[in-house]
């Protein structure tokens, strides 16, 4: 079985985001970028399934500009067998990403597609669901545990009321939650081995997918600054202060 894993590059979660002076977006020039944390979890789960003998080939897919190669090498260093780089100069929105992945699914015929439940840059949480709909295959989102047996996957997913267990037929789409696993540490020998692993480059247009701007951000603004706290002497003074602000 092949497993296809989405592997998006985002601004590192430790970086303090700065809004551009003209409000047209956030500053990315000279800012550290790394793998989307949920995608690292997705790749780790695919590697664990391979180590259990349930898969033979793990393929990471990145959609982005020409300088995405080092990012994909990182995925190969984690343990992926090969990588596919779909080159796109502009920002790729969820529906476009789902259509790209569908083209690769039709070509590679994976038994499982594992994606992060969302990317931390746009927080859309849409690509996995859209891919499942376009592909016409089952989906299990927010996975905190995955068990594969034959042509069936048993997925424990996190929902508002607690945990829900689904059994889905493969091929299928699974999206990962934070508690599914802890991604492995990449060692220096693995980084060296990754240099010899193949990365296939495909232009977005060659897949027959148009990078349409279905959503458009009109302005970007930082959140309002927190107001300074106020010390109160007792409960009556606290209640009075809350009433004065219209909170009670």
Q: Is residue 247 part of a domain?
A: no
- pLDDT tens-place string over residues 175-205: 999 999 999 998 899 899 898 899 999 998 8
Q: Is residue 88 part of a domain?
A: yes
Q: Is residue 243 part of a domain?
A: no
| Residue 187 vs residues 49, 190, 199: alpha-carbon distances, Å | 20, 5, 20
Query: Quick check: helix, strand or coil at residue 223?
Result: coil
Q: Is residue 85 part of a domain?
A: yes
| Residue 26 vs residues 11, 21, 64, 154, 220: alpha-carbon distances, Å | 10, 9, 17, 39, 8
If you ran DSSP here, which 8-state letter would residue 206 be given?
G
Structural domain containing residue 157: 2-223
Q: Is residue 209 part of a domain?
A: yes
Torsion angle of alpha carbons 176, 181, 182, 188, nearest 10°? -90
User: What CATH number is given to the structural domain containing 210?
Assistant: 3.40.50.620
| pTM (predicted TM-score) | 0.83
Q: So what's the pLDDT on residue 128?
A: 94
Q: Is residue 228 part of a domain?
A: no
Q: So what's the pLDDT on residue 213?
A: 67
Q: Is residue 203 part of a domain?
A: yes
- pLDDT tens-place string over residues 206-241: 888 877 667 777 888 888 888 788 888 899 999 998
Q: Is residue 240 part of a domain?
A: no
* 180, 117 contact by CB (below 8 A): no
Total domains, the chain: 1
- pLDDT tens-place string over residues 4-40: 999 999 888 888 888 888 877 788 788 888 899 999 9
Give backbone dihedrals phi and psi of 66, rounded to 5 degrees, phi first. Answer: -65, -25
């Amino acid at each position: 079985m092949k497993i296809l894993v989405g592997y998006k590059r985002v601004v590192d979660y430790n970086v303090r985001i700065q809004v551009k002076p003209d409000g047209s977006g956030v500053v990315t020039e000279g800012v550290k970028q790394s793998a989307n944390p949920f995608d690292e979890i997705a790749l780790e789960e695919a590697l664990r399934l391979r180590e259990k003998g349930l898969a033979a080939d793990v393929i990471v897919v990145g959609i982005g500009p020409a300088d995405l190669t080092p990012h994909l090498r990182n995925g190969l260093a984690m343990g992926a067998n090969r990588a596919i780089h779909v080159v796109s100069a502009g920002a790729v929105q969820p529906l476009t990403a789902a259509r790209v992945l569908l083209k690769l699914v039709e070509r590679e015929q994976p038994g499982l597609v594992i994606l992060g439940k969302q990317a931390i840059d746009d927080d859309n949480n849409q690509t996995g669901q859209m891919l499942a709909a376009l592909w016409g295959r089952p989906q299990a989102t927010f996975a905190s545990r995955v068990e594969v047996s034959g042509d069936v996957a048993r997925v424990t997913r996190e929902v508002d009321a607690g945990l829900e267990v689904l059994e889905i037929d493969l091929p299928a789409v699974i999206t990962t939650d934070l508690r599914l696993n802890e991604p492995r540490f990449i060692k220096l020998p693995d980084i060296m081995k990754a240099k010899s692993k193949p990365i296939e480059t495909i232009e977005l247009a060659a897949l027959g997918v148009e990078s349409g701007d279905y959503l458009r951000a009109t302005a970007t603004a930082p959140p309002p600054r927190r107001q300074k706290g106020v010390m109160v002497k007792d409960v009556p003074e606290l209640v009075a202060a809350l009433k004065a602000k219209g909170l009670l």
